[in-house]
Amino acid sequence: MQLAVTETGRGTRTAVLIHGIMADSRVWHRVTLELEERGFRVLAVDLAGHGRSPRARRYSPSTWADDVVETLRPLLTTPPDLVMGHSLGGLVASLVADRLSPRAAIYVDPAFAFPRGLRGLSKMLWALKPRPRRSILVQTNPGLDVADVEIKIEGLRAWDRRTLFGFADIRPLVPPATLVAPSLVVLAERSLLITAPVVAALRRLGMTVETIPGTGHTVFRDEHAGFVQVLDRWLDRTLPATR
């Protein structure tokens, strides 16, 4: 399936961004600007069932990854320098990295250890509630600015609720079989997806794991400055020519 892709920046290096469930590529708007300033061309995809991309008959992490690879290959003359994913997008990004062999990967509060099957689905049932009004979103998310509120509302309008069934097909991916590229995992202060044993497994594999205080699941939105600090520090070590 061909996905909608937002391409920005004219840098000599390429970053691929993959959003989480119930969102779309616009959620990365501030991160995109930071990457452009650091010399990246940015390719931000809308996964199937999200944003401007078509809906699918069935959803799973593997088919989402297939779509991303199929869509991006014509846009890439060399492997991407960076693949970054958030939540479900972090899980998809790990599968994409296996096939596109990026120079580096960043996983933001990724769904690496999300419960499989019905147990996983039961954790997502709250998402089937009626979509909240703007006033409720503002009240329950006091840290959201006006732009992020509108992005969240539009993302929910475009989102196909059937994507929740994609979690029925999740297979345990922790730890991955191999470390494809230098990898950074950025966690919320109290991650709902990554437990202490999983953190230990990721570090044994060779991944760098950092937690940003004061953040919820959407780490890069909740504490943007702190996220950029971590991003800069790690990119300076891993892809030093990006500065």
Residue 77 has pLDDT above 80, yes or no: yes
Residue 46 has pLDDT above 90, yes or no: yes
> Which is more confident, 130 or 4?
4
In this prediction, residue 242 carries a pLDDT of: 41
Closest by Cα among 219, 1, 23 to 110: 219
Buried b (16+ CB within 10 A) or exposed e, 57-87: eebbbebbbbbbeebbeeeeeeebbbbbbbb
Parent domain of 186? 5-242
Residues counted in the chain: 243
CATH of the domain at 231: 3.40.50.1820
Q: What's the first-to-final CA gap in the chain, in angstroms?
A: 35
Q: Which residue has the tokens 């119930």?
A: 22
Is there a contact between 80 and 103 (Cβ–Cβ < 8 Å)?
Answer: yes
Q: 227-239, pLDDT tens digit by residue?
A: 999 999 999 999 9
Distance CA 216, CA 83 (A): 22
Mean pLDDT of all residues in the chain?
87
Phi-psi region of 37 (alpha: psi -120 to 50; beta: other; left: phi over 0): alpha
Residue 241 has pLDDT above 70, yes or no: no
Total count of domains within the chain: 1
The answer to whether the pTM exceeds 0.85 is: yes
